[in-house]
Chain A
Amino acid sequence: MFIPPQKKSLWPLVQGLSYLAPSLLLFICFVFYPLLKSIQLSLFNTDLIGQETIYIGFQRYIDMFSSLQFLHSLWATVLFTIYTVLPGMLIALGLAYIANWQLRGIAVFQTIFAFPLSIAVAGASMIFMMLFNPTAGVFAYFLQIFHLPAISWLADPNWALISVSLVAIWRGLGFNIIIFLGGLQSIPKHLYESAGMDGASPWRQFIDITLPLLSPTSFFVFIVSIINSMQTFGEINILTQGGPSESTNVIVYSIYREGFFNLNYSYASAESIILFFIILLLTLFEFWLLERKVFYR
């Protein structure tokens, strides 16, 4: 069939862009411009108010990777991610699984489980600071009951990162539970009935039906949790300020300290670019790896 050549009109493009304009504007102001500016800053020496002075190329990056402090921050970030992501997901899945039981009054528990979502990081940190108190805190009290040695949760370099991780896990629970609960509720009930008639115990049903059908949800939670944990700042800033002995000085905190205390804008920018690429590559890798393992209906 002959289709007459259409007059090219710019109008649809203009119209489309005008719909996108508000979010484009926000993205440009708060994402794209800062990103490009950070790249630029990381390639220059900067003065105390953050103006570029001398172009130094990739020297900042070379310095950074030969700095023990940076490598230590990198390692702390990796540990923090390991401590928070999988444990956080497992606890959330367990609680969501229980919250999905058809029991009287279960909605109350569903609401309680979602609660961490509504508490600001400062509030949560203050609550945990009291719980972590080595003499009057609840955790110390429990250790005492079971005759375990006392732990200086936030003051001991061996425990500080774990303690902060606990707060981060708790803070992430609300969101994770809601997402997992949604995933669980989307699995049709008759599949369990069918599996039950096929002879599957509740545990086998969980392994053979729930987990595979929950994989898109788990995948989503996994990626979001990793990104979140790599960007955790509030808890650390309030509870440990990167200490003791740098044990909680994760990259995000290091960026903050370099940029806003040491006024080393160039270094902070270089660190944030590295963090950006780590998260980007990790996310791409996760998509590549898991997309083939994840079952999508």
Chain B
Amino acid sequence: MATIKLQQISKSFTDHIAVAPFDLTIEDGEFLVLVGPSGCGKTTTLRILAGLETPSAGQLFLDEKDITNCEPKDRDIAMVFQNYALYPHMNVYDNMSYALKLRKLSKSQIAAAVEKAATMLGLKDLLKRYPRELSGGQQQRVALGRAIVRQPKVFLMDEPLSNLDAKLRVQTRAELIALHNKLKTTIVYVTHDQVEAMTMGTRIVIMKDGFVQQIGKPIDLYNRPVNRFVAEFIGAPPMQFLSGSIVKNEENLIFQGDGFALNLQGRGEAASEIYLGIRPENLHLCTEKTPNSFSAQVLIVENIGSEAIIHCDVGHEKIAIKIPVPQTLPKISEILFVIPGKGDLHIFAKGSEKSMAIVQLSL
């Protein structure tokens, strides 16, 4: 039962800004994901929440209580570290019970709490083992278990899956979602992986170079990115961009690209320097030239089994197209025609990179 409020929180070091001031309220029971490329300030933000970094300015509230200058130990917040930070000289049981021992709980209370968490995480047979005797996945569970036994108000997780292999990562991702549904505790989760952010987060904060770019539900970030960075960061393969201009012709908008034009519908203004952003799954191949299509030369074909990514040249630019398989795959150097589908097309201003309008193809 915890709400966290960040008020104009920022962190700057002598030579650079790690986190620019921003406001955020994390609601009780939320699974909030901080995502962005490395160096974007997401881990610093998490460490400010943990109390391991002092913010340069701003205030931090936990359930209306100002904890800005509160010691980590007095915050009732648990953290799962990227490298787990298990105590190497303690066995699993001692690792999990350490926080409870410090709280001077009785032996039976501690045993019950550890037993419960160990059962939940499938660690019951490993309690006597030392961290060095555990696999990466098991260590990760112990780190989680150590946080769970404390029944903290908030869980902080710093890229907890990044040290696991791909298969285990997908499995643990699902388990973490299930765990969150069960515990209903507020979780703040840091990752650089947009797939983790999209699948796990109830809300996502996307950051770049210390600045928060957009805060919203995963689907909103996907459908309504506020700038080109968000559009490119969320979604795999990322949104594709064609540069050109928008001409307004009575009520119709026309996108003038490099040697082709697309008729668009929707609200928008004429602009000379723009990017047209199209999701790769919203691009289709056709064999003949039709209205609104443009020609492209195939560079690479990546067949993933259920789908294929076709990388091609359009004029001076490169785009990727995602098509379902089976479909006859084009050959390298083949020239084919590409037509956008019914989905949204995003117009971003060149320079500011901000979203100007979302339009559709006029059929």
A interface residue numbers (CB < 8 A to B): 188, 190-191, 193-201, 204, 208-209, 212-213, 295, 297
Instruction: Give the contact stretch, choosing among B98-106, B298-306, B316-324.
Output: B98-106
Q: How far does the Cβ of A197 sit from chain B's closest Cβ, in whole Å?
A: 5
Q: Which residue of B lies closest to A191 (CB)?
A: B85
Residues of B within 8 A of A188 (CB): 83, 85
Please tell me which one of the listed residues A194, A198, A295 contacts residue B102 in the complex, with CB atoms under 8 A apart: A198
Residues A199 and B81 in contact in the complex (CB < 8 Å), given A209-B87, A212-B89, A213-B89: no
Kindly report which residue of chain B lies nearest to residue A212, judged by CB atoms: B89
A297 near B88 with CB under 8 A, answer yes
List, in ascending order, chain A residues with CB within 8 A of B89's CB.
212-213, 295
* Complex CA–CA separation, A191 to B90 (angstroms): 12
Partner of B132 from the list A193, A198, A297 (CB cut-off 8 Å) is A297
B150 within 8 A of A: yes
CB distance from A11 to the nearest CB of B (A): 41
Chain B interface residues toward A at CB < 8 A: 50-52, 71-73, 75, 77-79, 81, 83, 85, 87-89, 98-99, 102-103, 132, 146, 150
Q: How far is the CB of A161 from chain B (nearest CB, A)?
A: 37
- Residues on B with C-beta less than 8 A from A295 are 88-89
- Of the listed residues A191, A194, A204, the one surrounded by the most CB atoms of chain B closer than 10 A to its CB is A194
B102 touching A193, Cβ below 8 Å: no
Instruction: Report which of A196, A208, A209, A297 forms a contact with B73, defined as CB distance below 8 A.
Output: A196
Q: Decide if B73 touches A198 in the complex (CB within 8 Å).
A: yes
* B residues less than 8 Å from A200 (CB atoms): 73, 98, 102
Q: A190 vs B132: C-alpha distance in the bound complex, in angstroms?
A: 17
Knowing A190-B83, A204-B102, A208-B98, say if A197 contacts B78 (CB, 8 Å): yes
Given A193-B79, A199-B102, A208-B87, 12 other A-B residues pairs in contact with their CB atoms under 8 A: A188-B83, A190-B83, A196-B73, A197-B52, A197-B73, A197-B75, A197-B77, A197-B78, A198-B98, A198-B150, A199-B99, A200-B98
B77 contacts across to A, CB distance below 8 A: 197
A147–B355 alpha-carbon span in the complex (Å): 82
Residue among A190, A195, A198, A297 with max Cβ neighbours from chain B (10 Å): A198
Contact, CB under 8 Å: A194 / B81: yes
Shortest Cβ gap from B188 to chain A (Å): 13
- Chain A: minimal CB distance from B111 (Å): 18
User: A189 CA to B71 CA in the complex, in Å?
Assistant: 16
Q: How far is the CA of A290 from the CA of B305 in the complex (A)?
A: 59
Residues from chain A with a CB closer than 8 A to the CB of B75 are 197
Smallest CB–CB gap between A215 and chain B, Å? 8
Q: How far is the CA of A196 from the CA of B89 in the complex (A)?
A: 17
Known interface pairs A193-B52, A297-B132. Does A199 touch B103 (Cβ–Cβ under 8 Å)? yes
When the two chains form their complex, are residues A194 and B85 in contact, meaning their CB atoms are under 8 A apart? Answer: yes
A-B contact list, 23 entries, CB within 8 Å: A188-B83, A191-B87, A193-B50, A193-B52, A193-B72, A193-B79, A194-B79, A194-B85, A195-B87, A196-B51, A196-B72, A196-B73, A197-B50, A197-B78, A198-B73, A198-B99, A198-B150, A199-B99, A199-B103, A208-B87, A208-B98, A295-B88, A295-B89
Q: Are A213 and B88 in contact (CB under 8 A)?
A: yes
Given A188-B85, A212-B89: A197 touches B98 (CB 8 Å cut-off): no
